Structure 1
Amino acid sequence: MCSHQPPCPTVDSPDHHSAVIVSAHPEQGWSLLCNGTIVFDDTGELLPDGRVVRPHRMSGTLVAAA
């Protein structure tokens, strides 16, 4: 799908979520990536073939730096 260089990672690549954003909708909480993946603000993903990647937020307590 990419027309730019270097091309974005494919949907099957482990780093597929690092593709270029082609359409951002922050008011709705999602963005469309160049490789066809839709990423959501909660870190969930919808892949072009309909597969769902559940949110993968880190759990635990955040500690502020001093």
Structure 2
Amino acid sequence: MSPRLPCQHQPSCPTVDASDREAAQPIAHYPEQGWTLLCNGVLLFEDTGEFLPDGSVVSPHRPLTGCAA
């Protein structure tokens, strides 16, 4: 795996360890495939799941909307 370049955005993007890591700038966006690569190396999926640079997975965590009647 190639070394990651430091973020060049101002202000700098949140790191992969930050609680707001999803706020990093997109560097590749493929809505037709349902994913976005963020500046911090997080692969963010349309269903809000994430694949982190270390290989770990974050399950989808979109908020529940509505309720069953």
Provide TM-score, normalisation by structure 1. Answer: 0.88
Q: Kindly tell me the number of residue pairs found equivalent between the two proteins.
A: 62
Q: Which residue does the alignment assign to 1:48?
A: 53
Q: Which residue does the alignment assign to 2:15?
A: 10
Tell me the percent identity: 56
Alignment partner of 1:57 is 2:58: no
C-alpha displacement of 1:57:
1.3
Q: Which residue does the alignment assign to 1:33?
A: 38
Give the CA RMSD over aligned residues.
Answer: 1.2
Where has structure 1 moved over 3 Å in runs of 4 or more? none
Q: Which residue does the alignment assign to 1:19?
A: 24
Consecutive unaligned residues of structure 2, counting only runs of 5 or more, are: 1-5
